Homo-oligomer: A and B are copies of this chain.
Amino acid sequence: MNHSTFVSPSTGRKVKAILFDTFGTVVDWRTGVAREARMFADKHGLTMEPFDLADTWRARYYPSMAPIRSGDRGYVPLDQLHFENLKTALAELGLPPSEFPDDDLLELTRAWERLPAWPDSVEGLKRMKARYIVGPLSNANTALLVSMAKSAGLPWDVVIGMDLLQVYKPDPAAYTGAAALLRLHPGEIMLAAAHNYDLQAARETGMATAFVRRATEHGPEQTTDLAPASDWDICVEDFTQLAQSLSAEPAATA
């Protein structure tokens, strides 16, 4: 491995690992889920618009974690939340989930393991991997992340699923726990994410930050996270630019 050359302006430390938010940042969940929702609709003769299911399903993502974040519910892995949220989403779309076999709902839930990478993700990660430890720092559980990596060809060095830490981002323990597992100072880790709230939480635990704009994560009419909300260490359009910023000399950041 070549050595890191990037010193974070905000942490003053040489970055040794780059951890990535996954859904939306590395992979295109909306396209991937809609693709499998279409297969599900065809199989069951539904007229449902596949992107509606993807959006309705994902809309349950943060609310379903709220009771776990607040301590009202014990930790359950994202796998299980996805399954529960699928049933809620179908019901919201007027499709009683009890009308479908559980096996079909479980199979559709596994769509989250088969999401396509954004076109620049794999090559960018390979370039960054030459100099840095790369891994996901995702709310997904380890098994889901490993399946996703095998399916999409994501060349992770280490997979940090939230089942290892039993919390959900943006709980500070998600970030500090990852640093402890890697035996690194938080300032030696950069979080790369398409979501400002995630970068803010990472910064508050002392991590370096990179904003990657994913302007169509939520489809062509996206209104959120279209621009960096703070002076993150790096702000780029894709992983190609991120790899470039991180391979350049310290002063040459984007």
Which of A's residues lie within 8 Å of B, judged by CB?
Answer: 1, 79, 133, 141-143, 146, 149-151, 156-159, 161, 163-164, 181-184
Contact = CB atoms under 8 A, between A and B. Distances in A.
8 contacts: A141-B183, A142-B182, A143-B181, A143-B182, A146-B157, A146-B158, A158-B158, A158-B159
A178 to B, nearest CB: 10
B157 A157 contact: no
A27 to B, nearest CB: 16
B182 A146 contact: yes
Nearest to A163: B181
A79 B183 contact: yes
A142 B181 contact: yes
Given A79-B183, A143-B182, A183-B143, A1 B150 contact: yes
A151 B2 CA distance: 10
A67 to B, nearest CB: 23
Contacts of A1: 150-151
A184 to B, nearest CB: 8
A142 to B, nearest CB: 5
B164 A157 contact: no
Contacts of A164: 164, 181
A133 B150 contact: yes
* Chain B CB within 10 Å, residue with most, of A151, A164, A183: A183
Given A1-B151, A163-B181, A182-B142, A157 B156 contact: yes
A149 B155 CA distance: 13
A163 B177 CA distance: 12
A66 to B, nearest CB: 24
